[in-house]
Amino acid sequence: MIKKSIPQEILFYLAVVFISLVVLFPFLWMLSSSFKTQTDIIAWPPKLIFSPTLHNYEKVFGEQDFLKYFINSTVVGGLAVGLSLVLGLPAAYSISRFTQRKLALFILLARLMPGISFLMPWYIIFSRLGLMDTYVALVLSHMLIALPIVVWIMSSYFNSIPVELEESAMVDGATRQYAFWAIILPMSGPGIITSVTLSFIFSWNNFMFSQVLSMEKTRTLPIAVYNFVSYAEVDWGGVMAAAVAIMAPAILLTMIFQKFVVKGLTMGAVKG
Amino acid sequence: MKKILTSTVVLMSSLCLSAGAYAQTKEIRVLLANHPYGELLKTAIPEFEKQSGIKVNFESLQEGQLTTKLTTEFATKSSSVDVFMTRPLQEGKMFNKNGWYEPLKAYDFSDYPKNVMSVAAAGATPFLVPLVTEWQVLYYRKDLFQAAGLQVPKTFAELEATAQKLNSDAVAGIASRGKGAAAVTQLSSYVYNYGGLYIDKGVAVFDQPAAIDAIRYYGKLLGTYGPKGVTSMSWENIMPLFQAGKVAMWTDASVFYGQIVDPAKTQIPAADVGIADLPAGPKAGSPFIVTSWGIAVANQSKNKEAALKFLDWASSKELATKGMLSNITMARTSVWKDPKVLEAVNPGLVATRAYAAEKGYPLDRPYMSAVGEARDQIGELIIESINTKGASTTLADMARAKAARVNDLLKDAGEYGQP
């Protein structure tokens, strides 16, 4: 690496500070608003110094019972991602090793089609089956989000693992299934973590499917934020506090696994 | 692809038919809106369950979500909704045309103002019960008026002069919605007061001279004396400005009154907030008075008897009185004469409501199935007019093109030329 001169360094860090300010500004605004009263939120010029209140968070977890929605979102996201791994990992392996491009494209198609086109048929099917307002309907619909991500990330990841490894195992008498289970999967940690993180976050944030397929019992977080939006009245403090509470797990998850995510995303593509 | 999809759906649904039919008697499903009256119903429902023996499964949703959900459920013909809150002007026309409302033959509608009832009934049989009405008013700052020695404006000419006098760098003379489609409802009363309409007997007429004059006036008013960036402002943006004391006058719906005099939400003292009738225009003094919310029974309901019982209860006079006491402007006429209510409700609201109920026009937007698209079209005219301070040379041509487009929408829906 070429050593930078001091003015260059300064410029570099100024740029870093500037860009992070721009990127973080909405988040900081949200965070500070979540501790403000309604009058402080609408104050102009904005109040930088204010007496913080926890009232908004009390509303989120007290009056609105967001814990219930947290559990719903976690169950739906967790099961959808888990089942997608069970189906998606072998599928990705097969696509990678037997170069099934058409199959891969077909799975991608499910992701490319606008989600709203699935809603009507799903609604008919799930309501006739009496599955409305159950986890089953939500988990199945969220698998449409998670499964293509798992398949696409993992198939390019498997491409980066040398075929020779399984071949030598199979020469020694292992079946392909065993080689997949005992050799390939243990080597795929970063890829799996990447696909889990991304698909979980997409499921966590999904609005459209949950809106139509869930009801009071299985309502998920993104829908519940709207509990603070009433006719001709928006409780901004409540919305902000709820948004912070919803973002927290997603941010935490990303921070913990960030290293793997970057590795997993680049691994398949640029492995020399 | 589509064919495969449809055939799969048909196959799947026919397989599943046997598992359906989970309707039970003595149990109904009700969809409520995130609205103060919805909240009131929620707390009162246990009482209804006790006296009627009907179990009520309710769910409350934000208005946009409510419409999406109702549309999906009704369109797929597999809805289990029995009773629902509905926005007559936004979705009423489409829902009614699709036959999603149950006609209410036995309901007694004598307690509702005539102009309000016009959106609850297409032709003869009403299909929804109006719950909440709102009308356009002028909010103003009494303290600023007093300091400048001004009277509350009674005409559009006075309104403009007052806005000019009150306008300064710190405080905008007047505000009203400027954000395209969102502003269409607030422009409507200006159009009526100039003697125009959006749609007359199923034909778009907002390109006629009267409406054009109104759009020009609205644009001049807001472009010259409005807050900065008014073309991106709806009520969500203007109310906080008013609450922070940055606006001297504001024309919008009466529904915001409670929030701008609530000390927990406003920085200006409640005593400084005034409410008045919308000033009259050159041709008329006819602010909108609309049924913003109603309640209806689903035509697909399998428990109509129980559903109608719930509807009667939910729109009863007793609950309407309770609604009035929690600052909800109910549609029933009789509750506005109840001495107990009059004691509690702000006299300014009572007076402006009486004016609007007598002289008002029951629509605040183009009343048609494709209301959203039509609002976008008119919204562009509003923005053009504000940006040019009402002096646009192309406005009339633009309006003609937009009106033609709206007429096409009306024709597509088979509503063109229908009264």
Range of the domain at A176: 58-270
Q: Is B340 on the interface with A (CB under 8 A)?
A: no
- pLDDT at position A264 is 63
B residues 229-248 lying closer than 8 A (beta carbon) to A? 235-236, 240-241, 243-244, 246
Q: Do A212 and B5 touch (CB under 8 A)?
A: no
Strands B27-33 and A233-234: unpaired
CA distances from B3 to A123, B7, B77 (A): 18, 6, 20
Higher model confidence: residue B79 or residue A79? A79
A244 assigned to some structural domain: yes
CA distance linking residue A142 with residue B20, whole number of Å: 23
Domain presence at residue B9: no
Which residues 162-191 of A are in CB contact (within 8 Å) with B? Answer: none
Domain CATH number, residue B401: 3.40.190.10
What number of C-beta contacts closer than 8 Å exist between A and B?
A: 98
Q: Which of B16, B57, B65 sits opposite A211 (nearest CB)?
A: B65
Task: Give the CATH number of the domain where residue A205 resides.
Answer: 1.10.3720.10
Q: Is residue B7 part of a domain?
A: no
Angle of helix A66-97 versus helix A135-159 axis, rounded to 10: 40
Is A51 a member of any domain? no
In the structure encoding, which two tokens stand for residue B105, read together?
Answer: 């033959």
Q: What is the pLDDT of residues B129-185, one digit of tens each?
A: 999 999 999 999 999 999 999 999 999 999 999 999 999 999 999 999 999 999 999
Domain contains A31: no
The answer to whether B193 touches B185, Cβ cutoff 8 Å, is no
Question: Residues B337, B390: one domain?
Answer: no
Residue A18, in any domain of the structure: no
Confidence (pLDDT) at A265 = 64
Q: Are residues B141 and B212 in the same domain?
A: yes
Is A16 a domain residue?
no
| Same domain (yes/no): B307, B226 | no
- Tell me, yes or no, whether A171 lies in a domain: yes
A219-224: long-range contacts, CB 8 A cutoff, minimum separation 24: A219/A69, A219/A72, A220/A69, A220/A72, A220/A73, A220/A76, A220/A138, A221/A66, A221/A69, A221/A70, A221/A72, A221/A73, A221/A246, A222/A246, A223/A69, A223/B65, A224/A64, A224/A66, A224/A69
Long-range contacts formed by A108-114: CB under 8 A, 24+ apart? A108/A148, A108/A152, A110/A144, A110/A147, A110/A148, A111/A144, A111/A145, A111/A148, A111/A149
User: Which site among B61, B81, B135, B291 would you substitute to test the A interface, given the most A Cβ atoms closer than 10 Å to its Cβ?
Assistant: B61
SS3 (DSSP) at B121: strand
B259: contact with A, CB 8 A cutoff: yes
Assess whether pLDDT exceeds 80 at residue A263.
no
Contact A226 B243 (CB under 8 A): no
User: What's the rounded mean pLDDT across residues B370-391?
Assistant: 95
Cα–Cα distance between A92 and B72 in angstroms, integer?
A: 35
Select the residue of A125, A223, A231 nearest B13 (Cβ to Cβ). A125
Give the nearest chain B residue to A39 (CA atoms). Answer: B265
In chain A, what residues touch B81 (CB-CB under 8 Å)?
A: none
* Average pLDDT value over all residues in chain A: 86
pLDDT above 50 (res B24):
no
Q: What is the pLDDT of residue B175?
A: 96
The verdict on a CB contact (< 8 Å) between B76 and A223 is no
Q: How many domains does chain A have?
A: 1
Q: Which of B9, B80, B235 sits opposite A232 (nearest CB)?
A: B235
Same domain for B276 and B155?
yes
In this structure, the answer to whether residues B30 and B56 fall within a common structural domain is yes
Residue the block writes with tokens 């199923």: B202
Q: What percent of chain A has pLDDT over 90?
A: 30
Residue B244: what residue type? A
Sequence-separated (6 or more) residues with CB below 8 Å from residue A269: A156
Residue B284 lies in a domain: yes
Same domain, B330 and B218: no
Say yes or no: B47 and B139 in one domain. no
Q: Which of B401, B413, B417 has the alpha carbon at shortest distance from B368?
A: B413
- Higher-confidence residue of A226 and B20: namely A226
**The CA-based dihedral angle spanning residues B419, B297, B35, A74, taken in that order and rounded to the nearest 10 degrees:** -120
Q: Are residues B176 and B212 in the same domain?
A: yes
**In this complex, is the C-beta atom of B299 within 8 Å of any C-beta atom belonging to chain A?**
no
Query: What residue in A sits closest to B255 (Cα-Cα)?
Result: A232
CB-nearest to A125 from B16, B73, B266 is B16
Structure-block tokens of residue B33: 């809106």
Counting every residue written for chain B, the total comes to: 419
Which two structure tokens, joined as six digits, stand for B207?
Answer: 């390109």
Q: What residues make up the domain containing B322?
A: 24-133+290-359
Angstroms from B89 CA to nearest CA on chain A:
15
Cα separation, A27 vs A20, in Å, equals 11
B121 within domain boundaries = yes
- Average pLDDT score over residue span B14-21: 40
B65 inside 8 A of chain A by CB: yes
B53: contact with A, CB 8 A cutoff: no
CA–CA dist B343, B341 (Å, integer): 5
Cβ <8 Å between B69 and A39: no
Which residue of A44, A212, A232 is in closest CB contact with B246?
A: A44
Span of A43-57, B22-36, B137-151 with lowest mean pLDDT: B22-36
Q: Are B179 and B222 in contact (CB under 8 A)?
A: no
What is the ipTM score, two decimals? Answer: 0.77
Q: Of A120-129, B80-89, B120-129, which range is least confident?
A: B120-129
Which pLDDT band holds residue B9 (cuts at 50, 70, 90)? very low
Tokens of A270: 């640029």
Same domain, B336 and B374: no
**pLDDT greater than 60 at residue B10:** no
A205: in domain: yes
What's the confidence (pLDDT) of residue A2?
62
Tell me which chain A residue has its CA closest to the CA of residue B171.
A44
Asked if residue A63 is part of any domain, the answer here is yes
Residue B56: pLDDT over 50: yes
**Chain B contact present for A229, CB below 8 A:** yes
User: Does residue A233 sit at the B interface (CB-CB below 8 Å)?
Assistant: yes
- Is 60 exceeded by the pLDDT of residue A13? yes
Task: Answer yes or no: do B339 and B391 share one domain.
Answer: no
pLDDT in tens, A185-227: 888 888 888 899 889 999 999 988 888 888 888 899 988 888 8
What's the confidence (pLDDT) of residue A272? 38
Helix, strand, or coil (residue B101): strand
Query: Among A34-38, B4-8, B365-369, B415-419, which stretch is predicted with the lowest mean pLDDT?
Result: B4-8
Position A3 scores a pLDDT of: 67
Q: Are residues B403 and B416 in contact, defined by beta-carbon separation less than 8 angstroms? A: no
A237-252 pLDDT per residue, tens? 999 999 999 988 888 8
Contact A42 B243 (CB under 8 A): yes
- Per-residue model confidence as pLDDT tens digits over B219-263: 999 999 999 999 999 999 999 999 999 999 999 999 999 889 888
Least confident piece of the model among A164-173, B328-337, B361-370? A164-173
User: Touching check for B5 and chain A: CB below 8 Å?
Assistant: yes
Domain count, chain B: 2
* Mutation target vs B (from A112, A124, A239; most B CBs, 10 A cutoff): A124
Question: What percentage of chain B exceeds 70 in pLDDT?
Answer: 94
Confidence of residue B103 (pLDDT cuts 50, 70, 90): very high
Tell me if B385 is assigned to some domain.
Answer: yes
Single-letter amino acid, residue A209: F
CA distance A199 to A11: 37
Query: Which chain B residues touch A227 with a CB distance below 8 Å?
Result: 34, 62
**Same domain flag for B199 and B239:** yes
All residues of chain B having their beta carbon less than 8 Å from the beta carbon of residue A233 are 259
Residues B103 and B219 grouped into a single domain: no
Q: Which of B16, B76, B266 sits opposite A120 (nearest CB)?
A: B76
Question: Which among A124, A127, A232 has CB closest to B9?
Answer: A124
Q: Is A112 on the interface with B (CB under 8 A)?
A: no
Q: Residue B6 falls within a domain, yes or no?
A: no
Instruction: State residue A186's pLDDT score.
Output: 83
